[in-house]
Structure 1
Amino acid sequence: MRQKPVALVDFSAHEQDGKKDRNFVMALARGLEILRAFRPSDGLLSNQEIAARTGIPKPTVSRLTYTLTKLGYLSYSERLERYQLGTGVLALGYSSLASMGIRQVGRPLMQEFADDTGASVSLGSRDRLSMVYLENCHGQGALTLRLQVGSRVPVATTAMGRAFLAALPEAEREYLLDHIRRKDEQAWPRVRQGIEQAVADYQEKGYCISAGDWERDVNAVGVPLVLDDGSDVMAFNAGGPSFRLPREELDRHLGPRLVNLVRTVESRLSSGGAQ
């Protein structure tokens, strides 16, 4: 069974008691949805392709892409009649990453972990039903996954995503689980079972495992990081090919060590170590 198409955002959700939210700027929301429509694997996109991905009418897409191009957030190929993300978006992204003290604190610890274990070690944050990689470290000579900063992986089946879900308040977690269920009803029973096990593992051990649940030959462990002010939840993971990192290795070494790494990051952040 094919997965149900899921729009990037439900604009009708921004209503209160059947009335439009007067503080919600629809034109801005639609412009941002157009920027979100571009994926790392994409070439250039036409207005028609953007309209299909976002559910925004093509005439509206055409006006918004024109405006975004004028502002530098998109660039336009006259020959191909298609768009790609412009330097304005890159500048915003780099500014955001540069302002995250967690990356400055975490990267040396992550690299040491990767060098010692041969695992890929990553930090990510949620965007919709994906986790977006904000930092990624590999050990020298290790067989690693082809993921980099900006890569997206599923929340539901990866160790990073499950760690994120496990750290959420129950109401927020159930809200996301409902969206995950609607995206793929057929896979839902198996997916839900994996998430419930991950939550139980996190509560007992401090980490979650994904052993072949995302990709058949990939095993990983994940640990959430709840920022001290409660403003956000991020997650770390460590993983690699299953023949190099069997589940027993995750439980015996990688899981406990990743918990220690995250506790160290928390301690340094709270003491101002990111400054």
Structure 2
Amino acid sequence: MTTAQESTAPVEAGVSAPVQSVDRAITILELLAREGESSVTEIAAGLGVHKSTAFRLLATLEVHRLVEQINDRGRYRLGVGNLRLAGATTARLDVVSEARPVTRQLASETGETVNITVRSEESALYLDQVAGSSALQSHNWVGQRIPLHATSNGKVLISELSEEELDAALPHLPRFTDHTITSRSGLLEDLAEVRRLGYALAVDELEAGLTAAAAPIRSHHGDIIASMSISGPTFRLTQERLDETVPLVVSAALEVSHRLGWGRRS
């Protein structure tokens, strides 16, 4: 599957200051991870900045619970917010780990490229990819982002959002081809069909000549946390071919969901 080329904007004047602040904040987290706890004075010395600068950085990190003060001792340690970030990363790694043997099997059975994606703000993010034997080229899209409304993976990831959540996730519906859904009513209708069928299709919606089919991967709570898809040229993934391969995609995604604990049978 391909994705729209990301635009590159010139660096604006003054951008170095916030980047420096981010670098210093990360250094604080690394320092606390290494030392266990430190005072403002020690942190300032480690950064090579004035105590007031270190204090402002710590105050910002504290708001996000990435650091916390130890009682009234004026010393800081890592906060519980880091556990939330680590948990999110672990969850994604779990999906890739559990899905890998299944995606390899699906790629072997269909001959098509298999992708695993998760939602990342207004995009779908590639976590893993396995190329099938019929793939025309082996371009690795891991780490790339694709539109939610114009791809089968994206449609799956937003299929169970409320209308309010959908508005927040997709304030705009840009057109990529003549087949891209660009109206809110059209998208809602399409997502209702995704919920009814249990899978999503995207035919020539992101790129002319590209077809994909995706199914949801659910957590042990039943929430959609990722999607699995096959993709290939439209001339090969005809309706007849989709009728054969879509059940395989749905079955594979269900297997990964079971591996993650959803509807696990004893």
TM-score between the two structures when normalised by the length of structure 2:
0.62
Find out whether 1:60 has 2:60 as its counterpart: no
Shift in Å, 1:248 = 3.5
Number of matched pairs: 202
Go from structure 1 to structure 2 and tell me whether the alpha carbon gap of 1:174 and 1:259 turns closer, same or farther (over 3 Å shift): same
Structure 2 Cα separation of the partners of residues 255 and 194 of structure 1 = 22
The one of 231, 238, 243 equivalent to 1:239 is 231
- Amino acid of the structure 2 residue aligned with 1:130: S
Distance 1:189 1:172, change over 3 A: same
Cα separation, partners in 2 of 1:97 and 1:152, compared to 1, 3 Å: farther
Query: 8 Å contact 1:144–1:240 — kept in the other structure?
Result: no
In 2, Cα distance between equivalents of 1:204 and 1:215? 25
**In 2: Cα distance, 1:255 partner to 1:221 partner:** 7
Partner AA of 1:96 in structure 2: T
Partner of 1:171: 164
Change in 2 beyond 3 A, CA 1:221/1:247: same
Distance 1:196 1:64 in 2: 41
* Among 259, 263, 274, the residue aligned to 2:250: 259
Confirm or deny: 8 A CA contact 1:157 1:191 kept in the other structure. Answer: no
User: Do the aligned partners of 2:181 and 2:187 also contact (CA within 8 Å) in 1?
Assistant: no
- Cα distance, 1:158 vs structure 2: 0.6
Find the structure with the greater CA-based Rg.
2
Shift of residue 42, structure 1, vs aligned partner: 9.3
- Alignment deviations for residues 105-159 of structure 1 (CA, whole Å, 9 cap, x no partner): 2111111111121211111111121111111111135325634221211111011
Where in structure 2 are the equivalents of 1:54-203 lying within 5 Å? 57-58=14-15, 60-61=17-18, 63-64=20-21, 67=24, 96=89, 100-144=93-137, 146-177=139-170, 179-181=171-173, 190=182, 192=184, 195-203=187-195
| 1:210 is the counterpart of 2:210 | no
TM-score in terms of structure 1 length: 0.60
Gaps of 5+ in 1: 1-39, 74-91
Distance 1:255 1:192, change over 3 A: farther
Please identify, of 236-245 and 162-171, the stretch whose mean Cα deviation from structure 2 is larger: 162-171
Retained in 2: the 8 A contact 1:160–1:236?
yes
Tell me the residue number matched to 2:221: 229
Matched letter for residue 158 of structure 1: T
Q: 1:167 to 1:198 in 2, by over 3 A?
A: same
- Using a 3 Å threshold, how does the CA distance of structure 1 residues 269 and 164 change in structure 2: closer, same or farther? same
Q: 2:19 & 2:195 partners in 1: Cα distance?
A: 49
Residues 192/217 of structure 1: CA separation in 2 closer, same or farther (3 Å cut): farther
* RMSD of equivalent CA atoms: 3.7
Kindly tell me: are residues 167 and 146 of structure 1, through their superposed partners in 2, closer, same or farther at Cα, counting changes over 3 Å? farther
- The equivalent residue for 2:260 is 269
Distance 1:215 1:249 in 2: 19
SS in 1 for 2:220: coil
Secondary structure at 1:238's aligned position in 2?
strand
CA distance in 2, matches of 1:218, 1:97: 32
Sort the Cα spacing of 1:42 and 1:147 in 2 relative to 1 into closer, same or farther, 3 A: farther
Deviation at 1:193, TM superposition (A): 5.6
